[in-house]
């Protein structure tokens, strides 16, 4: 019994001594001791040290929804939970993934805070402006291009900038239920493609001129080249429709919806990419014409396709 009593006393003294040890941490500028007896486990974490936006100031167009581009450092931070908020949701609202929707004209501060108690945050000032001068589309938009060419704010057949509008085979001026060689007005099974000219801009084969009236016309391949070379593009969403916001040399902007294309009786690729006809025949193949491709990653003017495809048209006017 005596030996057992001594052992118990020793054990008790050891436990008491251990309980006096602890881990001292800095919290809110003060040193705080956490006794070991109160700690079940210790895990070393790498907190967020910085959040930054690619752009501290962003301009969106009314109706636009775009995810703000940001980075969280270090890249291997243990917690990357983020909380988003807007100072004025009636101007620009933000969701849990950082998608900002431009609701009305004005300015709002978007704030993102790390949820790992690091307190790290970042702010982005979002300014919301109108895309077009008013709602009476179509508008003539001067993008400040060297040729003096002005671009329309809407697709042919659309009443809003985000509207898909019509799909037209090259040289045809109305829509139809099926798009293929048999249904193409300028293809003959025996003699092949009918020559309607190497540049149909402003002619009776130009759907922009026919449906919208002169001086609206289809852009030539050269004008598509100028458009792509001198303007910048941003993949975005306008009133729920994916597409690109194109910014001209003078800062003016137009939106091109990713309307896909029509082949046989199917609409392909809508909301993912878009094709826009030029007025120019592809010289190496009389069954093809040049067009503009737009997508999330890139755009290029030299896309060409079978003239029988149903594609979008964006009209131009001016020099």
Q: Is 137 near Zn ion (CB under 5 A)?
A: yes
- Nearer CB in complex with Zn ion: 153/231: 153
Instruction: Give the residue, chosen from 113, 153, 246, 289, that forms a contact with Zn ion under the rule CB under 5 A.
Output: 153
List, as one string, the DSSP characters of the chain.
-HHHHHHHHHHHHHHHHHHT-EEEEEETTEEEEEEGGG-S---------EEEES-SEEEEETTEEEEPPEEEESTT-S---EEEEES-TTTEEE-TT-EEEE-SSEEEEEEEEESSSS--EEEEEEEEE-SSSSSS---EEE---TT--EEEEEETT-SSTT-----B-TT--S--S-BSTTT-TTEETTTEE----SB-TTSTT-HHHHHH-TT-BPPPHHHHHHHHHH-EEEEEEETTEEEEEEE-TTS-EEEEE--BEEEBTEEESTTT-EEEEEEEEPTT-TTEEEEEEE-SS-EEEEEEEETTSBBB-EEEE--
- Segment contacting Zn ion (CB under 5 A): 90-98, 104-112, 130-138, 233-241? 130-138
- Nearer CB in complex with Zn ion: 134/319: 134
Instruction: Give the residue, chosen from 120, 132, 145, 158, that forms a contact with Zn ion under the rule CB under 5 A.
Output: 132
As measured in angstroms, the least distance from the Cβ of 132 to Zn ion is 3
- Nearer CB in complex with Zn ion: 72/208: 208
Q: Is 129 near Zn ion (CB under 5 A)?
A: no
As measured in angstroms, the least distance from the Cβ of 228 to Zn ion is 21
- Nearer CB in complex with Zn ion: 200/241: 241
- Nearer CB in complex with Zn ion: 89/133: 133
Residues that bind Zn ion (rule: CB under 5 A) add up to a total of: 4
- Segment contacting Zn ion (CB under 5 A): 26-34, 127-135, 183-191, 230-238? 127-135
- Nearer CB in complex with Zn ion: 77/132: 132
As measured in angstroms, the least distance from the Cβ of 256 to Zn ion is 13
Instruction: Give the residue, chosen from 61, 66, 139, 288, that forms a contact with Zn ion under the rule CB under 5 A.
Output: 139
Where do contacts with Zn ion occur on this chain (CB under 5 A)? Answer: 132, 137, 139, 153
């Amino acid at each position: 019994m005596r030996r057992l009593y001594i052992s118990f006393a020793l054990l008790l003294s050891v436990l008491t001594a251990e309980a006096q040890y602890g881990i001292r941490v800095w919290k809110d500028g003060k040193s705080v001791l956490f006794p070991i007896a109160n700690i079940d486990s210790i895990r070393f974490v790498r907190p967020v040290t910085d959040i930054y936006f690619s752009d501290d100031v962003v301009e969106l167009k009314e109706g636009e929804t775009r995810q703000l581009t940001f980075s969280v450092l270090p890249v291997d931070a243990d917690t990357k939970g983020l909380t988003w908020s807007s100072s004025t949701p009636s101007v620009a609202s933000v969701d849990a993934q950082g998608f900002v929707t431009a609701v009305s004209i004005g300015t709002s501060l978007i704030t993102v805070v790390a949820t790992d108690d690091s307190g790290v945050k970042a702010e982005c000032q979002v300014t919301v402006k109108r895309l077009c001068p008013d709602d009476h589309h179509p508008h003539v938009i001067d993008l400040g291009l060297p040729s003096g060419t002005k671009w329309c704010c809407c697709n042919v057949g659309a009443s809003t900038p985000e509207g898909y509008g019509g799909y037209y085979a090259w040289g045809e001026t109305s829509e139809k239920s099926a798009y293929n060689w048999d249904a193409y007005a300028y293809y003959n099974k025996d003699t092949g493609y009918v020559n309607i000219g190497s540049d149909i801009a402003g002619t009776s084969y130009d759907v922009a001129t026919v449906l919208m009236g002169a001086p609206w016309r289809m852009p030539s391949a050269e004008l598509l080249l100028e458009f792509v070379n001198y303007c910048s593009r941003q993949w975005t969403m306008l009133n729920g429709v994916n597409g690109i916001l194109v910014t001209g040399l003078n800062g003016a902007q137009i939106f091109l919806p990713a309307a896909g294309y029509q082949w046989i009786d199917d609409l392909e690729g809508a909301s993912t990419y878009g094709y826009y006809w030029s007025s120019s025949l592809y010289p190496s193949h009389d069954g093809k014409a040049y067009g503009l491709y737009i997508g999330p990653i890139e755009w290029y003017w030299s896309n060409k396709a079978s003239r029988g495809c149903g594609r979008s048209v964006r009209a131009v006017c001016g020099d």
